[in-house]
Amino acid sequence: MAQDTAVPKLSFQYWLNKAVEWGQTTTLESQQDVCLHLPKLQEFLQQIYESLKHMNSTTAIQRFPLIGQLLGRLCWNPFVVGYGKNLKLAFCKIHKKIILLCHLLSSSEWGANKVGTGTFISALGYTSADYYSKLVKNVSILNFFYFSRVSDDHVNVVSLFCIPLITLPDVTPLLEALLTYHGGRSQEVLSSEFLEAVNETFLKKKIALSESAILSLWLRHLPSLEKATLHLFERLISSQTSSLEEVACIIKDSLLPKAACHPAIFRIVDEIFKNALLETGGAPEVMTIIQMFTRCFVQAHQKDNKQHKFPLKAYFPHQHQPLVIALLKHPFDLSATLWSQHLKYITDMLKAIIEDKSIRTYADLFESWFLFVHFGEWADIAAEQLLKSEDESSDTFLWLLAFYYNPHNDKEKRTQILVEARAVYDRLMMLFSCTTLSVTDLQAAASTKTDKRQPCTKHLVRHLLISFLLFSSGGHKIAQEFISHVILASNTTNEVFGLLIRTAYRFNQLGLKNQRAVKLVNELLQELRFTD
């Protein structure tokens, strides 16, 4: 082809020698020499591009094996990169072509080890196995230093040409440099296709990027953040996790809790969880996911060593701040003897908010309930304390559980739920001291005179029943039989499993190992896993 002879080998070697010479000295004479040769260098690079664009990958690399080295050396020279728009444009054109060639080199054409390529690679001092990765790495480094010196439009083009190379490990530095580059304009510099491709590849675990790069990706591209959150949510819902420790590992592995330390990301993730809660009608599984994500987020925030970071209460700016502070105090951070007192404090504040006449819309009420859902461990503690505390505290804890399972701003309905819950609770307390019980006795205690019990009341009653089984002597003896004959037959296995794994997680966090309730929880979980 005519293009093959457009750039003589001697000419290429001449400019490579010049680049080496210019990089080794910074004298006035060498700087003058650079400036003197810039017009000819621009013309030479344009010839390189004209030749490259007509060549296939094998021919191009054989013809210009050291092109990456030449451009890499020139990029370090401020006189070269600062010389006129046309020279920069020539650089960009060659960059694009080389990136494309790197991708094509991974095809069967190069991998076929055709006659001549082995000799060519050996002459460069490489083996055929590592030449490709070396070339890609050099091109990545070249772009890493160069794209910050060109226009935003050129950076956009570089991001587009990186898409087919995203999964190559040696391109990672370039990807991270692009993701943390913002340019001089208010609009997004990088192509949306590039951002979507990086996010998709990251979610599929095909690339490993730094936390700062992922944070920058999610901050600059809302669709990627939304997709990452939905991907985590769907994974948690569909996976057969056997403990909250596994759930926590999945959540932390997503990097979303750490990213959520940025308030903008936290608000978006929280809004997605809120919508999921609304769409599922307050499904217990979704509530558990929100609680565990909040726990992981709080832990990430506490480990964040940034000098200037937002206080945790700032992530809930529109909520009653004393309530936020009280809920942020985790049960594990308090002595168990103080749980009852702290629950009363939380309940009193929630009651005051709910009964405030200025709360006139369901949306206002929902926000208070949604805040409490984030810290649902306190609801589990309330169900446990009901069976251990004095009778005078039972009204407080029953109200808190009724609110947890039914946030509707309907005083009559809430009163009805409390009446039913109180009736079940009183019957359970009559059985609490009995050492000999039957499943029939427990069913009778949980029964209702009508068949119109609300779903939220059913959730509350099941929560009370599980607590009774775990913390009473008689309940402990019939627990497995009750699970086998009642729970499995009532199609509430997932809900009860969720209650039990939350209890097991709390026991583990408290370091409890040998108590009767701990052993029973593990036995019941084992039975439910086996039947699943």
Compute how many other C-beta atoms are within 10 angstroms of the C-beta atom of residue 301.
Answer: 19
- Where do the H-state alpha helices sit in 5-77? 9-24, 28-52, 57-63, 67-75
Which of 238-252, 448-462, 501-515 has the weakest average pLDDT? 448-462
Inter-CA distances, 340 with 59, 350, 379, Å: 78, 15, 12
In Å, how far from its chain's centre is CA 132?
33
Return the pLDDT at 210: 93
pLDDT digits (tens, 9 = 90+) for 279-300: 988 888 999 999 999 999 999 9
The 8-class DSSP code of residue 353 comes to H
pLDDT digits (tens, 9 = 90+) for 11-21: 888 888 888 88
**Backbone angle region of 521, left / alpha / beta, with phi > 0 → left and psi within -120 to 50 → alpha:** alpha
- Which residue is listed with tokens 């990089």? 23
CA dist., res. 294 & res. 270, Å (int) = 9
Which of 303-317, 322-336, 377-391 has the weakest average pLDDT? 303-317
Mean pLDDT over 349-357 rounds to 84
The string over 189-224, giving b where at least 16 C-beta atoms fall within 10 Å of a residue's C-beta and e elsewhere, is bbbeebbbbbbebbbeeebebeeebbbbbbbbbeeb
Is 199 in contact with 235 (CB distance < 8 Å)? no
Query: What's the per-residue H, E or C state across 363-412?
Result: HHHHHHHHHHHHCCHHHHHHHHHHCCCCHHHHHHHHHHHHHHHCCCCCHH
Which of 179-183, 334-338, 478-482 has the weakest average pLDDT? 179-183
CA dist., res. 446 & res. 492, Å (int) = 15
Mean pLDDT over 78-85 rounds to 64
Is 325 in contact with 352 (CB distance < 8 Å)? no
Sign of CA dihedral 367, 425, 457, 485: positive
Is 107 in contact with 144 (CB distance < 8 Å)? no
Mean pLDDT over 212-229 rounds to 96
The 8-class DSSP code of residue 260 comes to T
Q: What's the angle, vertex CA 118, arms to CA 115 and CA 124, rounded to 5?
A: 140
Name the residue among 82, 80, 49, 54 with its Cα closest to residue 67: 49
CA dist., res. 52 & res. 9, Å (int) = 14
C-alpha atoms less than 13 angstroms from C-alpha of 197 in its C-beta half-sphere: 15
CA dist., res. 293 & res. 247, Å (int) = 9
Return the pLDDT at 114: 44
Name the phi and psi angles at 438, rounded to 5.
-120, 165
Is residue 44's pLDDT more than 50? yes
Quick one: tokens of 89?
């444009």
Which range, 222-226, 354-358, 480-484, is most confident? 222-226
Which of 155-159, 181-185, 347-351 has the weakest average pLDDT? 181-185
Name the phi and psi angles at 452, rounded to 5.
-105, 30
Residues 6+ apart with CB under 8 A from 59: 4
In Å, how far from its chain's centre is CA 428?
42
* 242: exposed, middle or buried (Cβ count in 10 Å: 0-12, 13-18, 19+): middle
Residues 6+ apart with CB under 8 A from 512: 518
DSSP 3-state assignment of 81? helix
Residues 6+ apart with CB under 8 A from 134: 126
Quick one: tokens of 230?
């939905």
CA dist., res. 371 & res. 382, Å (int) = 17
Mean pLDDT over 322-349 rounds to 92
- When pLDDT is cut at 50, 70 and 90, the band that residue 111 belongs to is very low
pLDDT digits (tens, 9 = 90+) for 125-163: 545 445 445 555 555 554 554 555 556 777 787 788 788
- When pLDDT is cut at 50, 70 and 90, the band that residue 51 belongs to is confident
